[in-house]
Amino acid sequence: MSDTPVIRLAHTSQLEEDELDGIRQLLDEAFDGDFGEEDFEHALGGMHALAYGPDGELLAHGSVVQRRVLHLGRALRCGYAEAVAVRPGARRRGLGGAVMAALEEVVARAYALGALSASDEGAALYESRGWTVWGGRIGALSPDGPVRLAEEEGTTYVWVPEGGALPDSAGELWFDWRDGDVL
């Protein structure tokens, strides 16, 4: 049997309850218990890339959900990567890259750009895949009006599909609002 992971792409609506439970367990393990219910909620409603080992064990996960982002007065459809994680015992085997490749394919086919908020541990993976740190201001359109998210500056990455144009990175990105961590 091959060690090559099986990657499955599925919309949240196609996942069974036990699959969602398995994803949640993987995220709890991968993030050492620091992955809250709102974080999990943010990962739902879009496409999931699931990496399974030869024995059928879920080893890695990532999802991409639609967000709206304002840039230079234009609302862009953004594929936002969420809950990218690899089970601790399966790291450094290319699973994160395989999950990201599947998510990037979704972004390339459906969105103007991809975005994500990277942890220090995850930044090298995204950079190696051509994601770049956004150089301008980051903010959100809250119920009370625009709110700058200075703590997200330097950790928010963008990716533009081949043939697309990278927005002016000196400009501002204003993301739609959501409960919990906005980015």
Q: Rounded CA gap, 129 and 28, in Å?
A: 25
Nearest of 116, 129, 40, 133 to residue 78 by alpha carbon: 116
Residue 53 in any domain: the answer is: yes
pLDDT at 1: 41
Contact 72, 167 (CB under 8 A): yes
Q: How many CB atoms lie within 10 A of CB 82?
A: 24
* Number of domains forming the structure of the chain: 1
Is pTM beyond 0.75? Reply is: yes
pLDDT at 2: 56
CATH of the domain at 89: 3.40.630.30
| 3-state SS class at 66 | strand
**Which of the residues in the chain have pLDDT under 70?**
1-2
| 3-state SS class at 9 | strand
pLDDT at 162: 84
Structure tokens at 34: 């620091």
Residue 64 in any domain: the answer is: yes
| 3-state SS class at 71 | strand
The per-residue pLDDT for range 31-72, each reduced to its tens digit, is 998 999 999 999 999 999 999 999 999 999 999 999 999 998
Residue 1 in any domain: the answer is: no
Q: Rounded CA gap, 93 and 142, in Å?
A: 40
Cα 103-108-112 angle, rounded to 5 deg: 115
Residue 38 in any domain: the answer is: yes
Residue 127 in any domain: the answer is: yes
Range of the domain at 101: 6-176
Residue 183 in any domain: the answer is: no
Which residues, in sequence order, are bridge partners of residue 120?
none
Helix residue ranges per DSSP H, the chain: 17-30, 37-42, 95-110, 123-128
Q: What does the H/E/C string look like for 74-123?
A: EEEEEEEEEEEEECHHHCCCCHHHHHHHHHHHHHHHHCCEEEEECCCCCH
Q: Rounded CA gap, 182 and 174, in Å?
A: 11
Residue 81 in any domain: the answer is: yes
Residue 181 in any domain: the answer is: no
